[in-house]
Every structure is written in C-alpha cells, then in structure tokens.
Amino acid sequence: MALDDFFVPQRAVYGLRRSPRLWGIYRDEIMENFQVDSKGEKRKFHLRALQSEPNLWRVLAIFDESQILGGLVMTYVDDICICSSHSILEAIKEKFQEI
C-alpha cells in the first residue's frame, strides 16, 4: 500500500457521522414490522413510533382498536430501553435477539 492510496467506504462505517443515522433508519424499518407474541398476555403486539418523538415507540395490541398501551420502547442509536410487563418485555427482547 502506497502513502497516496485511499479507500472509499461502500456502506456505513461505525464512527462516521452518517453511520448512526443510517443505522437508525434501518433499525426503525425493522421495528415497524415487529409482531411480538406475548405468551403471558395471549395476544400479539406491534410497535408504533410517536410522531412527536420518533425514538419512543408504543407497544400496542394488534387488531385492538382501543389502543391500550402495553409498554414503551426507547431507542438511541444501538441502545434500547423496554418498559413493560415481564411477559411483553421478554417477547420484545426475544424479537430483537432473533433479528
């Protein structure tokens, strides 16, 4: 390798300014399609980001028009905080681990 050789990254590289944003877009696309089956609750849940705070996600029952809140998920780059009942929390955690 010569001193004047350089490399052009073809995708996001951790540590570059754009990397957290590109990761966030990818993460959010995946989370929008989550379907979480909570055994303790006997129903399925999905995640919906708040419009006022896109890093805060509501955990809502699928096919439930009442929109009862089953929990909250907060994201920041690659950090995730889940606040919910134990059964829903475990189901969401397992879903993240699958992905």
Residue ranges of alpha helices (H) inside the chain are: 19-32, 86-98
Q: Kindly provide the residue ranges of all beta strands, DSSP E only, lying in 5-93, ordered along the sequence.
A: 36-38, 43-49, 56-61, 69-76, 79-84
- The pTM (predicted TM-score) of the whole model is 0.77
**What are the structural domain ranges in the chain?**
37-98
Give pLDDT tens digits for 30-80.
999 999 988 777 788 999 999 999 999 999 988 767 778 899 999 988 899
Distances (CA, A) of 63 to 35, 44, 69, 79: 12, 9, 13, 29
